[in-house]
Structure 1
Amino acid sequence: MARSEHGPPRLYRVWLTGAGVTALGTQILVFGLVWHAALIGPGAAAAVLTAQTVPRVLLTLHGGALSDRVGALPVMVAANAVLCALAAVGALAMSAADPGPGAMVATALALGTVDAVNIPASASVPRLLVPSEAMGRALAARQIVLQGAVLCGPPMGGAAITFLGLPATYGAGALGYLVMLAVLRLVGSRTRFPASADAGPGLNRQVGEGLSTVFGTPLLRAVVLLTGAFAMFAIPFSSLLVPVVSAAHGWGAAATGAAAGAFGVGMAGPTALVLWRGTARRAGPAAALGMVTAGAGVALAAAAPGPAAFCLVSSLVGLGTGVFSTHVGPLFMAACPSGAVGRAHAVLTLAQWLPLLVANPVIGVLARAYPVSVLLLLWGAGASAAGAAALGTRAFRTAVLPGGTRRGEQEPEAG
């Protein structure tokens, strides 16, 4: 792995700090919302989670088109202002009364709807602030920050509820969005966020143009398809397969937590390495090999004789996941046309969410009919096969990131 001499610029680091604070506040808020719903019953908790997810799936493509149409900065300012107001009203409402499940579902729907607009705009910021040669390290830093928020948010939310009460979780969310508004004002005063797309066509037409751009560009198409396969076969491992396997073997909550932690440790290794030294010179093959490695780990988990061995293979899955995610993201970013960054990222985001809507219930159904070892072998084989297929495509074999080659070495064409 060739060391990159270029790090993310200071303005990007300022924005990333704000994004981390906002993500942490969001995790605390969502934890409080779901926890409160769970007190009513599991059905209410499931309804809240579904209400947050459905608008994201339905509206993300239009959110990306809106970002390209009017510019990422205005979209993020408007979205964070609305989210801040929602969270503040929620905090006041929770202090005055105990809202019923209908109010919580409505809140989750509102959060999911605004997220569908905000997420593609936020994903396009690295392209606007970071030079291409520093993109790998910039996205690795973003991944570490967002994963840190995911890990720290629930325990901080639990502490907030214990010591300050449920309204504090909503207050944390409002504070996080307020911080992002301040950061966006600072960033906006020091750089220019262009509105790239023509404002003439309607959003539906722009959505269609974004889909045509992504699936008409070999490397973008390959990344989206591989990301969808990764979401189907690799992402459910940590969130669903680990607890299903532990429960089937009677290993207990401690072993489940240890396996999930081992996955996180494995994923953190390549992420930290990319942050320090930059991406591999040939990022396409590296991403595909990362997926093959993750699939091999999932399949090997079928033969794990005990919790210790299961933790070991879980770390291998995390290692492959880290290699995949730290290389496929910069590849996609580098190949995005400047006028369609928001729409392209909306397609990529949808490619991550849609397979999960299928994978999770399918795993639940199959787990009742077959041994967990069969599930692990099937999902591991699927991930490895998709990674091997990517290695066979020209788009991945020839994809090289700017800044990922050694000096004096000519980069081949990416597509």
Structure 2
Amino acid sequence: MTVTAPAAEAPQRPAHRDANVRRWLGAYTLSMIGDSVYYMALAWAAARTGSASQTGLVLAAGSVPRALLLLGGGVLADRLGPRRVVIASDTARCLVILGLAGALLLTSPTVWMLIAVALVFGAADALFLPAVGALPPRITAPGQLARVQGLRGLATRTANVVGAPLGGVAVAVGGPVLAFAAAGVLFAVSLPLLLAVRMGPLPAPDEAPEQAAEPAGSPWRELVGGLRHIRRHPLLGPLMLVVAVSELGFVGPLNLGLVLLSGERGWGASGMGWVIAAFGIGAGASALLLAVRGHVPRAGLVMCLTVLVGAVAIAALAYAPSVPLAAGVAVVIGLFAGLGGALCGALVQTAADPAYLGRVTSVSTLFTHALSPLSYPVTGAAVALWGTGPVFVASALLCAAGAVTGLAVSRLRRAELPR
């Protein structure tokens, strides 16, 4: 099932030339940069306020409400509309961060103050992430969703490149107060753009019989209905399985594992920085390719194959003898894994019934943003026991298992994106 776009009878305008999409993209980019600045400021403030263990507690606090409330955020996005939820949650993040900056003008930060802010921010994130992911099918035509995923990937890479240095400069110039204030201002500037985004209507009931058949009920009933929709859908169920398995194999090595590998090889922080930058270049190139091309034939097959190639590159990364070779392998990982992830996101958005899109997005976001980081302690313990090589290979096999699962499902292997 595909999404009916606003003004479906009119010729499709390329997403990068659509002012409505550009407003959404600008708001999303500003919010992502604000996120990076916020986390930089939070880490700095926590490190200057408490011990190492307390700093870890502060940084982990936000993940708890995010994991617990993400599925509920998807229910709200479907019940109230993703635009309302995005605006409300972005406003909440803006007010919380600006309030913290104002409070720090009057008093010194404490660990419990920072934990409280992290908890509230994480709860707002749990509403923001499913809703912002559910917006693209409501603001563009189905044939432009792959291009929008590419643009979103570029926005994410831009935020990664700009956000951390901007946060570092703000901390160096004005301390955490200025950094938190900068993050709050970025959220505030994104709000007018969000308010200006025009939304298309959901399909009429006769175009979406499953939507019409869903009875109104409690939030819990709606959540169960969304999970049932995923389980019974011939394409969404396998897609979620691919996301869950491949993310578990991808996140550990490319985050904690890379830090441990750099220390084991004596590459130092600079060497690790080059490898991370190379991965960002590869991921940015894949996002740019998708944004420019706009359509990939046999998207399901290409998605599975690119994830499989990325998995092989993950295993090879652990055996790269030098920083330049490791950086070259990282480019391959970013290019293929980035393209596979973007195609997966586009397939999810075109396959899901629009009435369930917030809930479907919340489930995929749960795997990518909340549950996958739980592999960090396992990765660290495994590296301590067996070293980086075997752990990277095991993670690559897990990632490849997700790709092979997708290849084994004929409906997913033959899946196409609308033109």
TM exceeding 0.5: yes
Residue of structure 2 in register with 1:239 after alignment: 255
CA shift at 1:103, angstroms?
Answer: 0.5
Unaligned segments of structure 2, at least 5 residues = 1-10, 204-210
- For 1:22, the aligned partner's letter is S
Give yes or no for the alignment of 1:364 onto 2:380: yes
Contact kept? 2:246, 2:400, Cα under 8 Å: no
Give yes or no for the alignment of 1:57 onto 2:71: no
Residue of structure 1 in register with 2:133 after alignment: 123
- Cα distance in structure 1, aligned partners of 2:83 and 2:296: 31
What is the aligned counterpart of 1:68 among 59, 78, 84?
78
- Cα distance in structure 1, aligned partners of 2:267 and 2:190: 42
What is the aligned counterpart of 2:234 among 218, 237, 244?
218
SS of structure 2 residue aligned to 1:93: helix
Q: Please, which moves more after superposition, 299-308 or 375-384?
A: 299-308
**Stretches of 4+ aligned residues off by more than 4 angstroms:** 192-199
Unaligned segments of structure 1, at least 5 residues = 404-415
Residue of structure 2 in register with 1:344 after alignment: 360
- For 1:326, the aligned partner's letter is A
What is the CA RMSD across the aligned residues, in angstroms? Answer: 1.9
Contact kept? 2:406, 2:412, Cα under 8 Å: yes
CA shift at 1:88, angstroms?
Answer: 1.6
Give yes or no for the alignment of 1:397 onto 2:404: no
- Cα distance in structure 1, aligned partners of 2:333 and 2:91: 38
CA shift at 1:356, angstroms?
Answer: 1.9
CA shift at 1:147, angstroms?
Answer: 2.3
Give yes or no for the alignment of 1:79 onto 2:89: yes
What is the aligned counterpart of 1:292 among 305, 308, 311?
308
- Cα distance in structure 2, aligned partners of 1:110 and 1:366: 33
TM-score by length of 1: 0.91
Q: Note closer, same or farther for the CA distance 1:303–1:357 as it changes in structure 2 (3 Å cut).
A: closer
- Cα distance in structure 1, aligned partners of 2:283 and 2:196: 33
Residue of structure 2 in register with 1:265 after alignment: 281
- Cα distance in structure 1, aligned partners of 2:343 and 2:81: 26
CA shift at 1:5, angstroms?
Answer: 7.8
What is the aligned counterpart of 1:379 among 380, 384, 395?
395
Contact kept? 2:240, 2:364, Cα under 8 Å: yes
TM-score by length of 2: 0.91
CA shift at 1:193, angstroms?
Answer: 6.2
Contact kept? 1:87, 1:174, Cα under 8 Å: yes
Residue of structure 2 in register with 1:412 after alignment: none
- Cα distance in structure 2, aligned partners of 1:194 and 1:92: 41
Contact kept? 1:69, 1:199, Cα under 8 Å: no
Contact kept? 2:281, 2:334, Cα under 8 Å: yes
- Cα distance in structure 2, aligned partners of 1:92 and 1:183: 25
Residue of structure 2 in register with 1:276 after alignment: 292
What is the aligned counterpart of 1:312 among 307, 328, 336?
328
What is the aligned counterpart of 1:168 among 175, 178, 200?
178
Residue of structure 1 in register with 2:43 after alignment: 34
CA shift at 1:395, angstroms?
Answer: 2.3
CA shift at 1:217, angstroms?
Answer: 0.8
Residue of structure 2 in register with 1:303 after alignment: 319
CA shift at 1:137, angstroms?
Answer: 0.5
What is the aligned counterpart of 2:110 among 100, 109, 114?
100
Q: Please, which moves more after superposition, 253-262 or 175-184?
A: 175-184
Q: Deviations over 1:314-358 (max 9, x none)?
A: 222112212211211110100010101101100111122354243
- Cα distance in structure 2, aligned partners of 1:222 and 1:347: 13
Q: Note closer, same or farther for the CA distance 1:340–1:5 as it changes in structure 2 (3 Å cut).
A: closer
- Cα distance in structure 2, aligned partners of 1:315 and 1:243: 17
Residue of structure 1 in register with 2:3 after alignment: none
Contact kept? 1:124, 1:345, Cα under 8 Å: yes
CA shift at 1:93, angstroms?
Answer: 0.6
- For 1:270, the aligned partner's letter is S
Residue of structure 2 in register with 1:408 after alignment: none
What is the aligned counterpart of 2:14 among 7, 19, 25?
7
- Cα distance in structure 2, aligned partners of 1:80 and 1:20: 13
Q: Give me the identity figure in percent.
A: 26
